[in-house]
Amino acid sequence: GAGVSQSPRYKVAKRGQDVALRCDPISGHVSLFWYQQALGQGPEFLTYFQNEAQLDKSGLPSDRFFAERPEGSVSTLKIQRTQQEDSAVYLCASSLTGRGRAGELFFGEGSRLTVL
């Protein structure tokens, strides 16, 4: 596709439910990132993939959060037993090169999760 695509755009979950958020990066992009953005704050790093390898998951807040990118393209962020503090916008970004390098980072529109 032309850009990074995320779905669903909006998700309302009851506390305790599991949710899955999908990210379709730009075709051919090596790096994929997940970020969590609370209202009025900058994005906070969750995890990073280089192709199918998850090279950094240090930002995942608990073992309820799990991400995968099995074929090195589409990625899924799964949150188990959601809590109210999980309410945020989850941003996915992709880059042609490795993270932090001068290559541009392209973000999706985000998935807004609201946990009731």
Binding interface with other proteins (CB under 8 A): 4, 35, 40-45, 55-56, 91, 93, 98-102, 104-110
- Smallest gap from residue 98 Cβ to other proteins (A): 7
d(CA 55, CA 76): 15
- Smallest gap from residue 83 Cβ to other proteins (A): 23
Question: Strand (E) positions, the chain?
Answer: 5-7, 10-13, 19-24, 31-37, 44-50, 53-56, 65-68, 75-79, 88-95, 105-107, 111-115
- Smallest gap from residue 102 Cβ to other proteins (A): 5
The residue (of 82 and 108) whose beta carbon lies closer to other proteins is: 108
The residue (of 55 and 116) whose beta carbon lies closer to other proteins is: 55
